[in-house]
Amino acid sequence: MFDVDYTALEKGLELMGVGMLGIFTVLFLLYLTSIFLIKSFPQKEGKDISE
Amino acid sequence: MFDALNELIITSGLANLSYKHIIMIFLACIFLYLAIKKGYEPYLLLPIAFGMLLVNLPLANLMVAPQNGSAGGLLYYLYQGTELGIYPPLIFLCLGSTIDFGPLIANPKTLLLGGAAQVGIFIAFFGALALGMTPQEASSIGIIGGADGPTAIYLTTQLADHLLPIIALAAYSYMALVPIIQPPIIRALTTKAEREIKMEQLRPVTKTEKILFPIVTTIFVILVVPSSSPLIGMLMLGNLVKESHVVPKITETLQNSFMYIVTILLGVTVGAKANGDILLTIETLQVVLLGLIAFACGTAGGVLMGKLMCKLTGGKINPMIGAAGVSAVPMAARVVQKEGVKANPSNYLLMHAMGPNVAGVIGSAVAAGVLLSFFG
């Protein structure tokens, strides 16, 4: 019933994997960046977002 | 006299009205009703619906390109801002000036939730490929799962312009339906005990961290995915303007008047692309259905990642906050808050859900950049 192009699907799966890997790579880099920010600028007593 | 009258009738819009025009005018009126009476995403649905109405009135020629030295239609010129990818990044500029990345910086693990929720984009992309669509069309449909209207519009104008009106309508419709679509998925994938989990209060975030975050994010994200630069660059510029506190008047303008000006231009020009030949097709139904799958899978992906993180942290993370990773700021976070209160009236998850929520904005812009680099 369906004219399935298996080559396209295979390519699609590959892109899906690469795409998610790309997103996680970027977000993981941001995670490391945030950790670096937390370590570099520790919270001082009495200082908060509003300051 | 009869000749003149005949000429007047022939050149009137009424004489040129086809059944497609009538259906589209009817559809535009339904959207206007939903925007005005029901309040569904009125800031965008109202101009989109009015643009649809204008362009489907025969002989109005508002979208006609300039020919033989004569000027084009008004909406044709305004549409250039959409077609050339100008309005969506400008919306991101305004959005950046309203976003608070504090909850994300305070709990950076939530970035992973924003990433996992993008899986819906690629599942719908895969589904669209299986239905025989081109990779460019599949990418534009998949991005609906990012639940981010400007990103969906930006990517579609770059890859599959002909699908623009239906993708914009589907994206904004599903965003308006977040409170209806997400709760059943959240409840189906979580236990009552998980929904009751109370999370520790977030640590305060310093001004220095908030100023450095957009700068560092811009550098890292654009270095890795350069094609996401229009969206990420504008988002982070807007955020830096806000967090620097040195240009309060610009911040105020971005958060108010400028945002509404760009919104109405974007809305009316997207609506103006919706003519009967484009919307009344089987392909439209496929887009709507795949968009819903993308959205639902994105929500499920975020919740499942939340469950994994809940297990790994020994029950310190409420898995429901993963649902906010689909973007749709701040609606998805509000849905999580509401569900949290339902499970445990003393539960306050809003700020915790804002972390994955803003991570989802970055995630969907990165996903758009990845798809653009593949097929742009």
- Which residues of chain B have a CB within 8 Å of the CB of A11? 129, 135
Q: Which residue in the set A33, A38, A51 is minimally distant from B216, CB to CB?
A: A33
Could you give the C-alpha distances from B94 to B4, B41, B266, B281, B286, in angstroms and in order? 53, 17, 13, 35, 32
Confidence of residue A4 (pLDDT cuts 50, 70, 90): low
Cβ-based neighbours of B182, under 8 Å, separated by 6 or more: B299, B323, B326, B332, B335
pLDDT score for B40: 83
What confidence tens digit (pLDDT) does each residue in B85-124 have?
A: 999 999 999 999 999 999 999 999 999 999 999 999 999 9
The sign of the torsion formed by the CA atoms of B324, B330, B333, B338 equals negative
Q: What is the Cα–Cα distance from B10 to B273, expressed in whole angstroms?
A: 25
pLDDT score for B37: 94
What confidence tens digit (pLDDT) does each residue in B342-364 have?
A: 999 999 999 999 999 999 999 99
The sign of the torsion formed by the CA atoms of A12, A14, A18, A24 equals positive
pLDDT score for A33: 83
For chain B positions 102-121, those within 8 Å of chain A (CB to CB) are: 102, 104-105, 108-109, 111-112, 114-115, 118-119, 121
Residue B84 counted as domain residue:
no
pLDDT score for B29: 95
Instruction: Count how many domains chain B has.
Output: 1
pLDDT score for B332: 93
Q: Which domain holds residue B346?
A: 95-250+276-375
Please state the rounded mean pLDDT for residues B146-165: 92
Give the count of alpha carbons within 13 A of B143, CB side only.
35
Nearest chain A residue to B223 by CA: give it. Answer: A26
Residue B75 counted as domain residue:
no
- Residues B160/B142, Cβ–Cβ less than 8 Å: no
pLDDT score for B68: 86
Determine, for residues A19 and B122 on separate chains, whether the beta-carbon distance falls below 8 Å. yes
Q: What is the Cα–Cα distance from B189 to B184, expressed in whole angstroms?
A: 9
- How much is the pTM? 0.89
Residue B72 counted as domain residue:
no
Residue B332 counted as domain residue:
yes
Residue B3 counted as domain residue:
no
Residue B60 counted as domain residue:
no
Residue B202 counted as domain residue:
yes
pLDDT score for A49: 46
Closest CA to B59 of B7, B15, B6, B4: B15
Q: What is the Cα–Cα distance from B130 to B69, expressed in whole angstroms?
A: 45
The better pLDDT of the pair B154, A47 is held by B154
User: Across-strand partners of B70?
Assistant: B67
